[in-house]
Amino acid sequence: MVCNVCGQNEATIHLTEIVNNQMIEIHLCEGCSEQKGADFKTHFDFNKLLASLGSFGDELKPERITKLICKECGISYEEFGRSGRLGCSFCYQSFDKLLTPLIKRVQRDIRHVGKVPHSAPPEVKRTSELRELHERLRKSIQSETFEEAAKLRDQIQELETKIKKTKKSSS
């Protein structure tokens, strides 16, 4: 598993914390855990780590960051940095420029896709595999590795054909 902070090194520290009956997992490499000053002999404060992960607002000046406030719930970005919690769903829009890079660093994407259980039906697994192939194709095109992109395109076409056949036979 890859480190949630740097996205490069193998994670050697795997933390699970349950807050308000919700499980939160974070995976860190040794370097990032030391850099963030995480002391695992005492209670681990996930909120402080989350708040310290991003280089909050490289594109904004520090004095403007402290003035950012959600118009719906009134929470300030500074308060989010201390607590690691947003006040409402509108906070994502209010703090978008600062939250998007943070979410990408922690979760590798801004959109949640989840995991596919082993017991999932084959069509669910194929759909998940198709989504992953499309993402790999996008990255291959972006990095201009066109041979790899052509192979992925062929795999996508093959998988889409299988999905169509399965849908027709089940109808």
Residue 114, CA atoms < 13 Å, CB-side half-sphere: 8
Token digits of residue 118? 């082993």
Asked if 80 and 50 count as a contact pair (C-beta separation under 8 A), the reply is no
Token digits of residue 121? 């039906």
> 3-state DSSP call for residue 7?
coil
**From first to last of its 171 residues, what are the pLDDT tens digits of the chain?**
788 888 888 888 877 777 776 777 788 888 887 776 655 543 455 555 555 555 444 444 455 555 788 999 999 888 887 787 888 999 989 888 888 887 777 776 777 667 778 888 888 888 888 988 998 999 999 999 999 999 999 999 999 998 888 877 776
d(C-alpha 49, C-alpha 68), whole Å: 21
d(C-alpha 161, C-alpha 83), whole Å: 49
**Which residues partner with 26 through β-bridges?**
15
H/E segment holding residue 126 = helix 122-142
